Amino acid sequence: MDAKNLIAEGRSYLGIEFGSTRIKGVVIDGDGNVLATGGHGWENRLENGIWTYTLDDIWGGLADCYSDLLKDIKDKYGIVPTKFASIGFSAMMHGYLAFDKNEKLLVPFRTWRNTITEQAAAALTKELGFNIPQRWSIAHLYQAILNKEDHVKDIAFVTTLAGYVHYVMTGKKVLGVGDASGMFPIDSATKDYDKGMMEKFDSLIAPNGFSWKLADVLPKSLSAGEDAGTLTEEGAKKLDVSGNLQAGIPLCPPEGDAGTGMVATNSVGLRTGNTSAGTSVFAMVVLEKALSKVYEQIDMVTTPDGAAVAMVHCNNCTSEINAWVNLFKEFGELMGNKADMNELFTKLYSVALNGDPDCGGLLSYNYVSGEPVTGFDKGAPLFVRTAESKFTLGNVMRMHLYSALAALKSGLDILINEEGVKVDKMYGHGGYFKTKGVGQSIAAAAIHAPVSVMETAGEGGPWGMAILASFADNRNDGENLEDFLNRRIFANAKGSTVEPVPEEEKGFDDFMKTYMEGLKIERAAVEVLL
């Protein structure tokens, strides 16, 4: 069936993901082929010391994204869709959205980017014997309790951004297990919240006398493919303000951007991994066995079907690169040259390959915000060199590309060197990998493993979410997610693989020695400037 009829008959699949800087929608057929896309740019804001988005940001952004998607469908096919076979919503993981029994948001949305829960994260990690990062929902909840915030007693429901959007769309308080694993630890055997740890948490907060227990306020955990409700009339109107979208469309479990990244890169099987590099960066490896101990630099999450995953997540990645590219853009315009941004990024990324493997002695920290992996709750972007450093454009750009992955590498080195974790396949996706071969070669040097980028990787999370919507509708009886992806989506996938080059591996390792020692300089910058 051609794309036009597929969309017109409601047999296509819609995935929408709320990223840090862009809300993007993708429509696919049952085999994962992209039929249409739409998007909306947005930015988080710092209000009263909290990184947040307002509810108006969320719903206005979603409506604009869907409207842009409708325009693409209209331009390509001359039709207006009224239904889809299935829909899925995903978003950046973690954070804190707390509501009372009347569905009133009790405090502004606290996003993953906030580093304000250090006390709670440390206490919970010790109490539960499980690494609880600052950005996790449970850390935000417990920090609010420790802060004696008045709203906590009124909580009826705590969820993530994806869980909130899904709830408004369907009335169902559910969450995909991958996203749920960023709220509270998951038992991979049951694919549900760890009961023993929930009991420990309830005992911990019992002296406060709240009327709720943790199980009362968390969304229900669902595995990929399970029934997650249908689109309500209210939900349809919020998504499609033009009023053409029909209610009753099935929705798959909402997921986090980590889970959709795994799906988009076909890395949900054992010993597979992926690196997602954009505003933030994380790398994940599906484990064969549990780690020997708790590491504060490593998060334990799950695939969308509940398998254990070790993840290193860093708050900062490409924001500082973007700032420097914009500086070069300003210089070009000053000289009378108006550069195309895509061309400018491509040329500046590519010139990094001309730099020295160790960046010529240049050093930078891309800490636009705090970086818990290296022990910072605040950050100050920093560029340092000596008089003897080789201050060339190639080295400057290579340094920034190294710096974007350096905190991540410090965590991955624990997995690879101390835990002996094996990775057969590592896939890259996100803006960092957009310029062919550049991000791949640097990531391969950092990870000491081949890095592949598939042609579909540019679609990223929303494409992965649309695939999860397709999985809910198209899988064979008893078929798991990994087998479905291999059979239906990636059987003929095209891409490129870059092997690590020994000289570049050594160069990155040398850069890392200076980077780790130089954290003292970053610490001083934070203390003086902030």
For 463-522, write each residue's pLDDT tens digit.
Answer: 999 999 999 999 888 899 999 999 999 988 888 999 999 999 999 999 999 999 999 999
φ, ψ dihedrals at 222, nearest 5° = -125, 145
CATH assignment, 266-316+411-498:
3.30.420.40
Q: Quick check: 170 and 228 in contact, CB under 8 A?
A: yes
Neighbours of 282 (CB within 10 A): 24
Euclidean distance between CA atoms 356 and 363, whole angstroms: 13
Q: Report which of 206, 226, 197 is spatially closest to residue 481, judged by C-alpha positions.
A: 226
Q: Report which of 505, 513, 318 is spatially closest to residue 401, judged by C-alpha positions.
A: 318
Euclidean distance between CA atoms 61 and 82, whole angstroms: 20
| Beta-ladder partners of 308 | 302
Give the CA count within 13 Å in the CB-facing half-sphere of 157. 21
Listed as ranges, residues in the chain with pLDDT below 70 are 1, 456-459
Convert the pLDDT of each residue in 165-210 to its tens digit: 999 999 999 999 999 999 999 998 999 999 999 999 999 999 999 9
Structure confidence at residue 330 (pLDDT): 96
Structure confidence at residue 457 (pLDDT): 59
Q: Quick check: 258 and 284 in contact, CB under 8 A?
A: yes
Structure confidence at residue 1 (pLDDT): 64
φ, ψ dihedrals at 205, nearest 5° = -95, 0
Euclidean distance between CA atoms 455 and 264, whole angstroms: 11
Domain boundaries defined on the chain:
266-316+411-498, 319-408+504-529
Q: Quick check: 97 and 164 in contact, CB under 8 A?
A: yes
Tokens representing residue 32 in the block: 């994962």
Q: Quick check: 310 and 415 in contact, CB under 8 A?
A: yes
CA 467 and chain centroid, separation: 17
Structure confidence at residue 422 (pLDDT): 87
Q: What is the DSSP string of 100-114?
A: -TT--B-S--B-TT-
Q: Quick check: 469 and 263 in contact, CB under 8 A?
A: no
Neighbours of 147 (CB within 10 A): 13
253 contact partners, CB below 8 Å, separation of at least 6: 88, 166, 174, 175, 176, 177, 222, 223, 224, 226, 228, 304, 468
Structure confidence at residue 456 (pLDDT): 67
Q: Quick check: 401 and 442 in contact, CB under 8 A?
A: yes
Euclidean distance between CA atoms 203 and 443, whole angstroms: 44
Secondary structure of residue 246 in the 3-state scheme: coil
Neighbours of 330 (CB within 10 A): 10
Structure confidence at residue 261 (pLDDT): 87
Q: Quick check: 73 and 79 in contact, CB under 8 A?
A: yes
